[in-house]
Structure 1
C-alpha cells in the first residue's frame, strides 16, 4: 500500500467502523472515490477486522452480542506509538514481545464500547500472571483507548502508597511525558486525589485533553473522587471513561466501603468501562452475577504467558489435568530448596505469644540462601547483563517486630563474611555451594553461560560492601529505593512486599510465611516474573508443605485458564458459564466473605450438559457419524430395559441402556477437533472412572429428538427399521468477514433445556436448569442421558429471527446462514449426574452461581414443528 492510500484508509476508517459494508461503500462513493479504490479500502478494512477476530492470543470469553469496532492502531495515533518507542529504547525485542503486547491490547480495546455510543456500562476482567507485565498491558490499552476518544482514565492502584506512586510514575513516563499537551492530571507522584475547582476546565468541551487520575483503593480518597465527579455530572455526558482496577481482587470484592464507592463512581459516569486486572482472579470469578456488582459480565480475557516469564508451573511443576499424559507434563526447574521443619520455629515465632523478645537464628538454610545471593550478585556483575538491581527477599511473618529482629543477625552475617573472605575454609564453603547449585540447574538449559567460581570470587567483596539489609514494612521508614542507582539489598518484610510492587532483580527468596488462601499465597510469590540475563540463577528456600501448595496452585491456574479457553470454543458468555476453581482440603480459594455466593461446581463432567455444535460438512466425515448413530440406536433399542415411543412428537426414549454401548458409540462417533470439551476419549475415561469408583453411569437413558414426520415423508430420517423421526433444523452461524466457511459449521446451540429433561417425569421442562438438575439428582442419581439429533443437511435459517435482530441492531451482520452440509448431520447432547458419596477420586470445585441470571434460551420448538 502506498502512503497516499494509507492516509486515505485512515481518513475513512471511522466511517467503515460505523456502517454496514453496503452503506459504507455507498458513502465512500459519494466522496467521488473511484469504485476500484473503494473496493481496496473495503478489503483492507475486512482484513484488519478479521485479524482481530482471529488473534490467537489472548483467549477470551465474550458476551455474544459485542461487535468489534477497534481493529488496531492507525498511522495518526499518538499515544500507542510513543509507548512502542519507549519499549524499543528499553531494549524490548520487536518480535515477539512488542507484537504480542500490540495484539493483546488491541483485542482488549476491541471488546470495550465505542466511545461515541450514547451510554454504556461495561464490566470486563483481564487475567494475567503474577509479575508478568500487567501494568504495561493496561498502559497499552489506555493509550489505544485514548487514541480513539476515551477521555477520563481512572486507575485504582492497589491499597498501598508505594504501588500507587509506582503506577503514577509509569503512566506519566509512558503516556503523559511523550505527549504532554494531550493530558491533564488529577493526581501527582506524591499526591493522591484531592478535589479540584471548576470541573469544566477538565471535562468541558473547550478542553480536549485526556484526564488521568491514579488513586489508591482507600475509602476516604474514593469518597472524595465520587463526590467530585457527582458535582461534575453536567460535563460528563459526553465523557467516555475507562476505569482500570489493578489488583482487582484486592479490596474491590465483598468490601463494605471500597466496593460501593467504585460502583458509585461508575454510576456517575454515563459512559464507563470497568476493566479489572489481576493474576489471582478467584474472588472476581465468584461474585454473584445476578447482583449489581463487578462480576465480569461482558468479557474475560486470558493474557498469554510472556516468553521468558517465571510462573508457578515453571518453578513448581503441576499435576496432570484430565486427558493429559503425566509423563508429558513438565515438572519445573530444580530451583526449590527445602527448609526442614526444625528450622521453622528458629526463623519465625509459631504463635503470637512468642513474638515478644523473638530473636531469629541464622540456620544453615538461611546462611546458604544469603551466601548464594551474594554469589548470584557477583556472577551477574561478571555477566554485566539484565536488571542492574539485586534483591533477596526474606518473608517469615506478617509481624513487623519479627521483621526488625532480623536486622542485627543479618548485618552481623555480612560483616563476618567480609572478615573471612581471606579464609580458605570460608572460600571453600562458598565454592562448594556454588558448584552444587550450578550443577542442579545447568546454565545452558536456559540459554545462559555458566559463570565459574573463580570468575565471580573477585566481585564478592564489592557485593558485600554495597549490600544493605532493609526492613520494608508499615512501621519502618526504610524502603527499597530503585530510583537512585543500582542496589544490593536483603529485604525483610511482609504485606508491603506481597502484592503489586516489583522487587527489582529478585534472585533469592527465603519464605516460610504460612497463609490459608490461594490468592494471598500466589501474590506473596514475588519470585515470579522475568529474569533476563540470570534465568538459571533464581532459588527459593521454603518448607515442603508450601512447595506442595504452590504445585497445587499451578494446577489450579492451568485448569482455570483451560476453562476460559475451552468455554471460548463453546460459544458461551460469562453469564452462561462459570469458570471452575479446584478446591484444596487445607487452603481456601479466597477470603470467606468473597466466597459467600459461590456454589459447588461440576467435577469434570459431573452435573454438566455437554453438546456438539461444531461440525465438518464433508460427506465422508458425516457418513461415519450417521453409521455410528444408526448402529448405536439399533443396539440401544435391543438392550434397553424399557422403550418409549412418541412419534407424534418426534421422540423416542430407551431406558437403562448398558454403558458399554455408550462407550462403543463414543469410540465410533467423531467429535469436531475444535471442541476440546467434547472429546470422546475424555468422556469415555470419565464414564469408566465413575463406573469403577462409584457405581455410577453404569446405565444410560438414550433419547432421539426429531420432529413429526410430514405427510409426504420428505423430512424422514430412519435410524433403524421402526425407529424414524423427522429431521430437525439447525442453521449455522454466518461466518465472520473474510473467514472461510468450507468444511466447517457452528450451529451455536443444539440442545434445549426441555431436551435435557426429556427422560424426567412430571411437568418440569420449563423450570430453570438448576431445578431441572436437582430433579435429575432425585430421579436418576446414577444414570446418564444421551440425546441424538438428526439435523437436516440444508437447515435454512429462520428469517424472522434476523428481522428481529436487525430491528435491534441495524448495523449488525446477519447471524445465521444455511447449514449446507453434504450429508445429514448427527448432533449429540449428553447430561451427566452430579457425583455422589465420598468418592476420593472426584476433585471438588466451586464457581459463581449463575442460577439467578435470566438468560433467554434459543427456542427450537417452532422451527421443529412443535407447539410453543
Structure 2
C-alpha cells in the first residue's frame, strides 16, 4: 500500500492497529484514543526512529478510517434436516491455517471487517458437516455477497478453516476464462497455500501467509498460476494422491473438458470403494469441499427437466455439460459439501429443488442454506453510487461522479462511433481530432489526473485502473485499443518532453477546475464518513504528470492469464487502461478502478450487476472515481439500487418467518425493460412463475396511443361508477406525528369486492414490456388467491395531486387533480416515470396500531443494517406496511384477504409537450399486496429467442 520511502508510516499504522485490536471494548477506540496511542508509541525509545520523515496526519487519518467502519448483520435461511451441529470453540483450538490467514489480513483489514469475516466463515462452516463424521452426508449452500465486495476473501477464509477442520479435497470452480481462474489461483496462493504455485517445484517462492510461518504449512497444489496452469492432461497424468494428511487444492475453470479430466483424476487416484447402490467407484475416506465462484454463471442447468404430476423428476433427463460435470464430481464422494458464491443469486433460486437424475444425482439447489452477507459501510455499491428513490421520483444521495455521455452514436443510435447495434466488422470512426469521442478523451484525461492525485496522496504504489467497455467484439476492441493507445502515446510524448504540451495542460486544468475541485468539495461535505481527502494543488499534480503518464499502459483484456498476472507481478502500482468486453463483465477484479467508460448493455438484472465493475472499495480515492455512461444505463442502474434494497428486505422477511431455502421465492421489483435473468437460467426455459404476495406492483410506463389512453380512462370511470359514494381524506391522521398532510382531493372506499378489481384489470392495458405490473397477470394472480380465500376484499384510494390546472371529471360528483411525477427519459412510444406511488400512501389503510408496528419494524431494520448511524426514519416502509397488513400486530389476526389499489393521474408538467394532443389523462395504478403464507403463482410465458433479441444475451 505504501511506497518504499513511506515504510515508517506503514510500520506505525500496523503496530498501533495491533495495539488497538487488544482493546476489549472497541467502542473506546475514538479519534482521541488513536492519537493517544500513536503518541505513546512514538515516545518509546524503540520506535523513536520512526518519527523521522513521518507523515503524522496521514497515519492518524488512516487509523481513524480503519476504526470508523461498521457492518450490518448477515441474514440466513437454514434447513438443518440431517445436519449434526459440530463447530465449537474447543474444536477451533490450534487452527493454524485460519490463524495465519487472520494475522495476514490484520495488516489490511479493520477489526470490524476482520471480526465479520471470522463470524461469517464460522457460520458457513458450521452449516456444513463435520469432515470427521464417518457416515455419508451432503450439504449444499449459497453465499450471496455484493459485486466486488470481497467474496474471494470470504471463501479463502472458509477454505482455511475447512482445511483446519479436516476437509481433504478442496475444489474451487473459478469462472469460465483463464484470466479469472489465474487471478483466483493467485489469491489462494497468497491467502491459503502461502507460496507461488509454479509448474517447476524449484521455482516456488514463499508469499502471503507463508511469510508468517516461513512456509511451515504446505497444502498440496495441483493447478498453478501460469497461463496454462489449469488441470491439463499432462498434469493429471503426473500428479498422484499421497497418503499424507495435507489437504489438496484444485483451482479449475468451469470447462467441460477440464471438469471431465478432474473427474477421471479423482476416480483413478482417490476412489477407494464401490458404492453398493450404483456399483460405481466412490471416495469415502476424503471429505470434499467445492467452492463455486460466480455460482449463477455456467453452473446452472439451462435445460428443462420434465416433472410428473406428483412433482417427481424424470431420471433419464441429461443436464447441460458443465452442470452435469459438477454434479458428477459431487457424486464421486460420499461425504461432500458444495458452497456457491455469487452477488446475483437469481438463477440459483430458479433451480428446481427436486431436480435429480440417476447418473448425476441432485441438482445444485442450495437446499441447506442461503446466507446473505452484510456489506461494510465503506463498500460502494449501487445505492451509494446511484442513490435511492426518495419517494418523489428524484434520487437521494447520488454520488456526483456520474457523467452522462451521448457522443458515441447518432440520435437514432444506428450510426456513429459505436452504434447500439453493430457487428464484428464495425470500424469505429469519430471526426474529432483524436479519432475517438470527446467524452472518451475526457474520461482518459480524468484517469491521468486520478493517477496524479493518488501519487500525491502516497497511493502511487497501489494499482490504478481504467475500464473501457464499449463492445463485445474482439475485432472492434482492437480498433478502440489502437486509437486509445495512440492518444496515450501522444499525450505521453508531449508531457514527458515538455514540448508542444500547452493545449493538453490547458485541457487537463479545465477538467481539474470544472470537475475535480467541485466534486471533491461536494463529496467531502456530503460523505464525511467515506471521503475526507483534500486535493493537492494543481501545480503539484501538474508536476507529477510526466512521471504518471510514463507508467500508463493500454491493454486489451482477452481472457489470457497474463492479464491477471500483471497486477501481481508489478513491483510498483500498475496504471492500466483495460479495454475489453465479455471477459470484463464478470468476476475479474480491476485493481484500483478509478474511471469507467461503459456503453455495453444487457437488460437483465444479474448481467447488469456483474458488469458493474466500479462497485467495491475505493478507500482514499472515491472522490477521484468517475463513471461515464449513457442515460439509459443510468436509469437501469438506478432501478437496481432500489431493487437491491427491496430484495434484501424480502430476504429478511423470509428469515424472520422461519423460512428455508425451499420456501424462498425471489421477488423483483417491476421495471418496463429490466428482467431478472435469462429465461434459459430460470430452469424452466420458457416459463417464469411469479408470486406477488408481499409486493407492490405499480405502472411506471404508459403508452401514448390515444386509443389506449381512452380505454384506460374508461376502465377507471367504469370502476368509479360501480362504487358507492366515497369517503374523502383516506390518509389516517397520525395524531402523534406531523407526517401526513390531509388533502380534500383524495377519495377512499373500503371492503370492495375483488370482482370489481378484476373487471378494472381486465379492461386496463399495461405497457407490453411490463412484467410485474402487467394487468392480465395481476388479474390471474388475484383470481388464484381469491380461490384460496385471500385478496377477496379490497380498499381503493383515488389520490389527487398538486396540479390544479385542468382537473379531470371522473363522475358527476368526482373531480380529481393530476399528480406531478418526474419523467424517466424521453421516449417516442411511451411516457415513463421513475415512481408512481408516493411511499407514504401504502400506509393509508393501516390502523394507528398497525402503522406504529410497521414503523417500529422499519426502524429496527434500519438500525440492524446501519449500526451506529443516526436513525432518520419517520414513516414505515412499504414492505413493512405489507408485512403488518398480512400478519397483524399484538396477536391480532392480519388481513391477508385485503388488498389495496391506489390510483393516480400522473403528469410531467415540465415535459408534457407530447407529439399527440392528448384527449384523456394517463391513468396509473399501484396494487399493494399483503404478506401471505400461500404460495400461489402465475406463469409468464416467454420465447427465449424473442427474449434475447430484445434484452440481449446473458452474462
**TM-score interval, normalised by the smaller of the two chains:** 0.5 to 0.7
Q: Give the aligned partner of residue 28 of structure 1.
A: none
Q: Which residue does 1:146 correspond to in 2?
A: 163
8 Å contact from structure 1 (residues 387, 532) kept in 2: no
Q: 158, 161, 169: which is aligned to 2:175?
A: 158
1:228 aligns with 2:274: no
Hey, what's the Cα distance between the residues in 1 that align with 2:782 and 2:396?
41
Shift in CA distance, 667/200, structure 1 to aligned 2, threshold 3 Å:
farther
Greater shift in the superposed pair: 369-378 or 229-238:
229-238
Identify if the C-alpha distance between structure 1 residues 374 and 346 changes in structure 2 by more than 3 Å, giving closer, same or farther: farther
Who is 2:123 aligned against? 107
CA contact (8 A) 2:179 2:559 kept: no
Looking at structure 2, the residues matched to 382 and 488 of structure 1 have their Cα atoms a distance apart, in angstroms, of 15
1:317 to 2:387 alignment = yes
* TM-score, length basis structure 2: 0.59
Spell out, residue by residue over 1:349-399, the C-alpha distance to the aligned partner (whole angstroms, 9 max, x if none): 443358343335422211111111101101111111376222111111001
- Aligned: 1:828 with 2:893: yes
Matched, 1:528 2:615: yes
1:233 partner SS: coil
Aligned to 1:83: 101
Q: Is the aligned partner of 1:389 residue 2:463? A: yes
Is the counterpart of residue 214 in structure 1 residue 251 in structure 2?
Answer: yes
Contact 1:183 1:209 in 2 (8 A): yes
Distance in structure 2 (CA, Å) of the matches to 1:56 and 1:83: 23
Residue 249 of structure 1 is matched in structure 2 by 296
Matches within 5 A, 1:759-838: 774=784, 776-777=786-787, 782-783=792-793, 826-832=891-897
1:624-643 Cα shifts (integer Å, max 9, x gaps): xxxxxxxxxxxxxxxxxxxx
Relative distance call for 1:834 and 1:592 in structure 2 (3 A) is farther
| Separation in 1, partners of 2:419, 2:925 | 36
Q: Which residue of 1 aligns with 2:642?
A: 555
Match of 1:453 in 2: 538
Task: Give distance in 1, aligned partners of 2:600 and 2:928.
Answer: 27
Q: 1:777–1:834: 8 Å Cα contact kept in structure 2?
A: no
Deviations along 1:523-563, one digit per CA (max 9) or x if unpaired, are 11111111122121100000011011011111121111122
Mapped partners of 1:253, 1:577: distance in 2: 18
Residues 782-825 of structure 1 show CA distances to partners (whole Å, capped at 9, x for unaligned) of 42699xxxxxxxxxxxxxxxxxxxxxxxxxxxxxxxxxxxxx98
Is residue 429–residue 436 contact of structure 2 (8 Å, CA) maintained in 1? Answer: no
Q: 1:282 aligns with which of 335, 339, 346?
A: 346
* CA distance in 2: counterparts of 1:776 and 1:536, whole angstroms: 53
Is 1:503 equivalent to 2:590 in the alignment? yes
Q: Residue 262 of structure 1: CA displacement?
A: 1.1
Contact 1:346 1:363 in 2 (8 A): no
Deviation at 1:224, TM superposition (A): 1.9
Cα 1:99/1:326, change in 2 over 3 Å: farther
The partner residue of 1:377 within 451, 456, 465 is 451
Paired with 2:681 and 2:899, the residues of 1 have a C-alpha distance of 25
| 1:126 corresponds to | 143
Structure 2 residue 407 is matched with structure 1 residue 407:
no
Native 8 Å contact 2:468 2:577 kept in 1 = yes
1:469 match: 554
1:825, 1:333 → 2: CA distance? 41
Equivalent residue number for residue 221 of structure 2:
185
Structure 2 equivalent of residue 604 of structure 1: 694
Distance 1:843 1:164, change over 3 A: farther
Report the CA distance shift for 1:447/1:777 in structure 2 as closer, same or farther (over 3 A): farther
Asked if the contact 1:606/1:833 (under 8 Å) is kept, the reply is no
Equivalent pairs, count: 620
The 5-angstrom pairing of residues 6-45 of structure 1 reads none
In structure 1, the residue matched to 2:286 is 239
CA contact (8 A) 2:259 2:325 kept: yes
SS at match of 1:168: helix
- SS at structure 2 position matched to 1:828: coil
Change (3 A) 1:171 1:420: closer
Contact 1:157–1:217 under 8 Å retained in 2: yes
Distance apart, 1:579 and its partner CA:
2.6
1:67 & 1:659 partners in 2: Cα distance?
59
- Which stretch has the larger CA shift, 835-844 or 174-183? 835-844
Partner-residue secondary structure (3-state), 1:125? strand
User: Residues of 2 paired with 1:664 and 1:349: CA distance?
Assistant: 49
Q: Could you tell me how far apart the structure 2 residues matched to 1:156 and 1:561 are? A: 26
1:203-245 Cα distance to aligned partner (Å, 9 max, x none): 7xx4322121111100011112223334433262132211100
Q: How many angstroms apart in 2 are the aligned matches of 1:602 and 1:295?
A: 23
Q: Alpha-carbon deviation of 1:411?
A: 2.8
| TM-score, normalising length: structure 1 | 0.64
1:475-517 CA distances to partner (integer Å, 9 max, x unpaired)?
Answer: 9987772133232221111112221111112100111112221
Q: For residues 189 and 415 of structure 1, do their structure 2 counterparts lie closer, same or farther at Cα, with a shift above 3 Å needed? A: closer
Partner of 1:359: 429
Q: 424, 432, 435: which one pairs with 2:510?
A: 432
* Conserved 8 A contact 1:400-1:474: no
Which of 347, 350, 366 is equivalent to 1:296? 366
> 1:71 Cα shift?
4.0
Q: Which residue of 2 aligns with 1:855?
A: none
Distance in 1, matches of 2:188 and 2:560, equals: 28
Mapped partners of 1:373, 1:385: distance in 2: 14
Describe how 1:691-706 pairs up with structure 2 within 5 A: 698=752
Q: What secondary structure sits across from 2:624 in the alignment?
A: coil
Give yes or no for the alignment of 1:264 onto 2:328: yes
Distance 1:782 1:273, change over 3 A: same
Is the contact made by 2:348 and 2:365 (CA closer than 8 Å) also made in structure 1? yes
- Structure 2, unpaired ranges of 5+: 1-70, 195-209, 274-282, 303-319, 357-362, 698-722, 756-779, 796-844, 846-888, 904-922, 938-955
- Which segments of 5 or more consecutive residues in structure 1 lack a partner in the other structure? 1-54, 608-655, 669-680, 702-769, 787-823, 853-868
Structure 1 residues 57 and 152: alpha-carbon distance in aligned structure 2, compared to 1, 3 A threshold: farther
C-alpha distance in structure 2 between counterparts of 1:374 and 1:116, whole Å? 55
Q: Aligned partners of 1:364, 1:556: CA distance in 2, in Å?
A: 33
Are 1:160 and 1:216, in contact at CA under 8 Å, matched by a contact in 2? Answer: yes
Does residue 202 (structure 1) correspond to residue 272 (structure 2)? The answer is no
Question: Contact 1:58/1:107 (CA < 8 Å) preserved in 2?
Answer: no
| Structure 1: distance between partners of 2:92 and 2:898 | 52
2-side partners of 1:575 and 1:658: how far apart?
A: 46
Q: Distance in 2 between matches of 1:780 and 1:487?
A: 61
Is the contact between residue 470 and residue 479 of structure 1 (CA under 8 Å) also seen in structure 2? no
* CA contact 2:554–2:579 (8 Å) conserved in 1: yes
State the 1:101 CA deviation: 1.1
CA distance in 2, matches of 1:547, 1:408: 28
1:253/1:696 CA distance change after superposition, 3 Å: farther
1:128 positional shift: 0.6
Q: Aligned-pair distance for 1:469? A: 1.6
576-585 or 417-426: bigger deviation = 417-426
